[in-house]
Amino acid sequence: MFSYDFKNGQPLPASRGLANSKELSCMSGFCDRCDEKTSRMINITSVAELAAVAHLGYRNVCDACYEDLLTEASEVEEGEEDRRSEPRVKVTIKARVEGNTSHLEAFSEDMTIEEISPSGLRLHTPRDLDPGAVLKVLVPSHSVEATAIVEVVWKDGGQRAVGLKLIEPGDGWSALWEAYEPEE
């Protein structure tokens, strides 16, 4: 697959990782990262390789910034395990999650918790959530009710994984963690 410059009538050189992306746009504008005017913008909102830097909030960037963000994302992914301050455990726990989407639509639905830590969790959701959103998490199997803040959102196709930080991990969450805590 290659990209085509419709203005000049010729193929465009493919950037690393960009050849497989359909996110190239022939519009011109200002890069969200460097604020420089460019004639070739790249919409990076759903480029999987850049999920690790999605929290930066860039949408349309120039070629140079795209390359820099690819490098940053790969460095973040390499150091991912090192940055964690708490142990995590992979789990499969059913939970009821309530809150508002980024479009302020209220929801309450069953989801599966995929990972827990002493003060947080990760789950998949089809809902469009923004960092900072406050959610209520109910785990009926362990009689746990907790309030959490969306810390990070990773997008993968139509699904989103969200990392949640508990506002106040209570006794119920501590008991849940102890039930799954890894042996040392």
For 18-37, give one letter per residue: b (16+ CB within 10 A) or e: beebebbeeeeeebbbeeee
DSSP track, 20-66: T-S-EE---EE-TTT--EES-EEE-TT-GGGGGGGGG---EE-HHHH
Q: How confident is the model at residue 55 (pLDDT cuts 50, 70, 90)?
A: confident
Tens digit of pLDDT for each residue in 97-115?
Answer: 999 988 888 999 999 999 9
| % residues pLDDT > 90 (the chain) | 37
Domain coordinates in residue numbering, the chain: 3-78, 84-180
The top-level CATH class assigned to 84-180 is mainly beta
Q: Is the pTM of this model over 0.85?
A: no
Tens digit of pLDDT for each residue in 2-18?
Answer: 455 555 555 555 544 44
